[in-house]
Structure 1
Amino acid sequence: MNPRTSPGTFAAVVALSTALAGCAGSSASGGPDGSGNRFVAGDGNAQEIKAADRRAAPDTAGTTLESQPLKLADLRGKVVVVNFWASWCAPCRGEAPALEQLYKEHKPKGVEFVGVGFKDSRDNLRAFERKFKVTYPSLFDESGQITLAFRDVPPNAIPSTLVLDRQGRIAARVVGATTYSKLGPLVAKVAAER
């Protein structure tokens, strides 16, 4: 039998494709509830949530990679960008410089960034932060429980990014890798809200 057509080879290709798609993310269509009406039109994988349809982010808490306690609820009153990432995720490496640049630009305006290091070891996550010079804190989510708490507007893939408004409601999300030009306008728009 030709190895290109063997069932084992086909299964391996399907498994690899599925794993890569999960890391890279995909475009979401419609709202997370399947209604299709929760999001303002976006550019594929970037979506803004209408103010009237925003839901509160879960009051997640945990410890950072430096073992410091961190609660999202303590950041209410500020715009918060929450990025779900892992050291084993290639698209996460690609977006890290843009996230850090946006963090440095928007921090003086009262915008906070919080990473969520998903299903990874603390050592690998810290090495990633050193390599990419990430200076904002990340919650350590080895078990995936913090990420699971966001099931109402799930990340859907690693990486994914959520933008929370000053009331702690989810105002926008980017499923899959983001860029400076994709995330920057979303952050600026939510930061301009009063």
Structure 2
Amino acid sequence: MGPSRRATVTGLLALATGTLTACGTQEKGDSAGSLGAAKGSSSQFFEPGERTVTPALKGTTLDGEQVDIADMRGQVVVINIWGSWCAPCRKEAPELRKLAEKTEPLGVRFLGIDIRDNKSAAKAFERNYGITYPSIYDPDSRTVLGFKQLAPRAVPTTYVLDKQGRVAALSIGPLTYRGFDPIIRDIAAEKA
């Protein structure tokens, strides 16, 4: 991706976050599983040669199925960290549903990670917003440690993994279909 294309994608990532607030950010000294008060939003795109983090994520979904991110290699995967208690998560849920539906023909898969939540509230959230892709149930926020140094500092946080399973982009804060669709499509169009 050339400099002008990267600037466009970086600008789109900034738009994708929608607002400058999120449910929580990790404060200095907090453990990765402890998310504190909101400070703002940010986004980041990694060029293919800069991508070093390949998350190790596995767990049980809200529906009781086992999922391992390693089984999704070869596909672009969008991972959203959310909680039913999070107002920005409710704001972005319809946008994520639309993104999942519109990018499915490209082979893009979606996976949620529901943190600090109770199962019945999380299932009601998915029903209310028509979310059909699976979500790992992670009430203790331990699964997110699989992102290593890119572990989320706020909720919601969304990652896009390339076909090699590496973090290609991340966005902190609620995203929009209009802002995030081109980012997913650009990453999906990359050669494996």
TM category, shorter: 0.7 to 0.9
Flag the 1:21–1:120 CA change in 2: closer, same or farther, 3 A.
Answer: closer
Structure 2 counterpart of 1:142, from 139, 164, 167 = 139
Task: Name the CA shift for 1:19/1:84 in 2 (closer, same or farther; >3 Å).
Answer: closer
State the alpha-carbon separation in 2 of the partners of residues 19 and 96 from structure 1.
14
- Which protein is bigger by CA-based radius of gyration? 1
| Aligned counterpart, 2:187 | 190
The CA deviation at 1:113 is 0.3
Question: Are positions 1:81 and 2:84 aligned together?
Answer: no
* Separation in structure 2 between the aligned mates of residue 19 and residue 91 of structure 1, nearest angstrom: 6
- Aligned CA RMSD, in angstroms, stands at 1.8
Q: 2:40: which partner in 1?
A: 26
**One-letter amino acid of the structure 2 residue matched with residue 154 of structure 1:** A
**1:50, distance to aligned residue in structure 2 (A):** 1.6
Q: Within 5 Å, give how 1:85-100 maps onto structure 2.
A: 85-100=82-97
Number of residue pairs matched?
A: 160
In the aligned structure 1, how far is the partner of 2:45 from the partner of 2:87?
Answer: 25
**By how many angstroms is 1:131 displaced?**
0.5
Of residues 150, 153, 170 in structure 2, which corresponds to 1:153? 150
Q: 1:99 to 1:25 in 2, by over 3 A?
A: farther
Give secondary structure in 2 for the equivalent of 1:168: coil
Q: Per the alignment, do residues 139 and 25 of structure 1 end up closer, same or farther by CA in structure 2, a change over 3 Å counting?
A: farther
Task: For 1:29-178, list aligned pairs within 5 A.
Answer: 45-178=42-175
SS in 2 for 1:151: helix
Which consecutive aligned stretches of 4+ in structure 1 deviate over 4 angstroms post-superposition? 18-21
* Structure-2-length-normalised TM-score: 0.78
Q: Contact 1:25 / 1:158 at 8 angstroms: preserved in 2?
A: no
1-side partners of 2:23 and 2:169: how far apart? 24
Structure 2 runs not aligned, ≥5 long: 1-20, 26-36
TM-superposed CA distance for 1:56, in Å, is: 3.3
TM-score computed with the length of structure 1 as normaliser: 0.78
Unaligned runs of 5+ in 1: 1-17, 28-44
